[in-house]
Structure 1
Amino acid sequence: MARLWTWLRRPGRRQTLVGALSAQATLAIEGVEFALRACEADADLDALVERIEQVERQGDTTRLQFVHLLSTRVVTPLDREDMFRFSRCLDEVLTNTRDFVRETRAWQIQPDDHSRTGLEHIRRGLEQLVGAMDTSSGRINRELCTAARKEGRRVREQYDDGLRQLFVEELNMEALARRELLRRVDVIGLRLIEAIDAVVDGIVKRTI
């Protein structure tokens, strides 16, 4: 991950719109990595919150750079509205991931296996999304985006299964906290799907 981020920061890589979006998605992956660490029994939650907040601030900076680039380009790879929506949804993925880590620390509870598995699907979906973006040509691969969307849909399956398990157990404060964490993961998955839908819509418009 560090090598990928270093590559994206080389001169010229983030000077393209697709390069800036790829950088945003890469930061979102880094945030999900921290969220997965927060699911571990011996996690240092204070340190993880500090680190993911740093990543989230980097994400805000990268999004501002993207918006600036978008305002200066006469020709864009995809429809401007779709690209802006894509960037906004990626930003919301990272923001909600940060909130997941914050809430885990606030409630001092270890997320269940369904939350962890949901985060793993999100990470794989984001990785496929980064792989779909060719920062040199400015093209985005529709098939890889579709594969990434399938990973996002699997997050909802984990949410449904997790809720069913919680509802058959004793309802207490711990169960309520786990439900909220599970819901947060589901929201991240939904924002990921919205991001992918935005870019796929843009690709389809360009082929009509």
Structure 2
Amino acid sequence: MTRLWMWLRGRRAQRRQTLAGTLSAQAAIAIEGVELALRACEADADLDELAERITQVERRGDATRLQLVQLLSTRVVTPLDREDLFRFSRSLDDVLDNTRDFVLETRAWQVQPDAHSRAGLEHVRAGLRRLIKALDGSAGHINRELCLAARKEGRRVRERYDDGLRQLFSGDLSMQALARRELLRRVDVIGLRLIEAIDAVVDGIVKRTV
């Protein structure tokens, strides 16, 4: 009887799970990764510890993405087209993967990222927070306006990238400057993947309203 009860409880919990909630959880894990990347930008950061922690966070992100794929296979009705939900989840996974690489590269090159990289990561964090609000199931739908606000944060990452390049190229291109350029480029890629995630959701909303 105990095993049967545990199985039934697990089945009820699985039914209560929502696709939007799982995507929101994936975005929240991505924020955890960005927080660690921001910590890596500080002068007194323990890069070895941060590298270990973000690797664990990335694994949790992979597990949540797998959970979403399993949910998609069991749902008859979805809030958006399955293809768009899959694209969204994949792009969120890319956000976290590149954030992990940012921390690992910072440790490998032993260079402190510049202020432009930090500012770009702050825009990514703000964009992900807006995404989580957009996915809030209490309203019964995905909020398009909040998605567009999140996209603006992603576009600001490119602005920080351009500003950072101009500053780097105005000085001597030392090995340290080249390493900072690569880290800056990694942040730009994170921003691009964030925009791709948001575009997948916005595309899905447009399809459902046409």
Name the TM-score class by shorter chain: over 0.9
Kept in 2: contact 1:112–1:178 (CA 8 A): yes
Aligned to 1:3: none
Distance 2:31 2:133 in 1: 12
Name whichever of 155-164 and 133-142 sits farther off.
133-142
Give, in angstroms, the shift of residue 13 of structure 1: 9.4
- In structure 2, do the counterparts of structure 1 residues 114 and 41 end up closer, same or farther at CA, with 3 Å as the change threshold? same
- Which structure 2 residue ranges, 5 or more long, are not aligned? 1-12
Secondary structure of the 2:51 match is helix
**Measured at CA, do residues 52 and 17 of structure 1 come closer, stay the same or move farther in structure 2, by a change above 3 Å?**
same
Q: Name the counterpart of 1:192.
A: 194
CA contact (8 A) 1:142 1:203 kept: yes
Could you say which structure has the larger radius of gyration? 2
Q: Which runs of 5+ in 1 are unaligned?
A: 1-10
How far the C-alpha of 1:136 sits from its partner, in A, is 4.8
Shift of 1:12: 6.3
TM-score scaled by length of structure 1:
0.93
Instruction: Check the 8 A contact 1:131/1:144 in 2, yes or no.
Output: yes
Letter in structure 1 aligned against 2:27: A
* Deviation digits for residues 164-194 of structure 1 (CA, Å, limit 9, x no counterpart): 1111110111011000000000000000000
Q: Which amino acid aligns with 2:41?
A: C
Aligned residues with identical type, % of pairs: 80
Matches within 5 A, 1:106-145: 106-136=108-138, 139-145=141-147
Q: CA separation in 2, counterparts of 1:131 and 1:44?
A: 32
- Aligned mates of 2:140, 2:129 — CA distance in 1: 17
Partner of residue 24, structure 2: 22
Hey, what's the Cα distance between the residues in 1 that align with 2:198 and 2:87? Answer: 10
Matched residue, 1:63? 65
2: CA distance, partners of 1:139 / 1:29: 22
SS at match of 1:139: coil
**1:34 maps onto 2:36 in alignment:** yes
In the alignment, does 2:150 pair up with 1:148? yes
Structure 2 length as normaliser, TM-score?
0.92
When the two chains are superposed, the root-mean-square deviation of aligned CA atoms in Å is 1.3
Question: Within 2, Cα distance between the matches of 1:40 and 1:12?
Answer: 41
Partner of 1:84: 86
Q: Work out whether residues 19 and 138 of structure 1, in 8 Å CA contact, stay in contact via their aligned partners in 2.
A: no
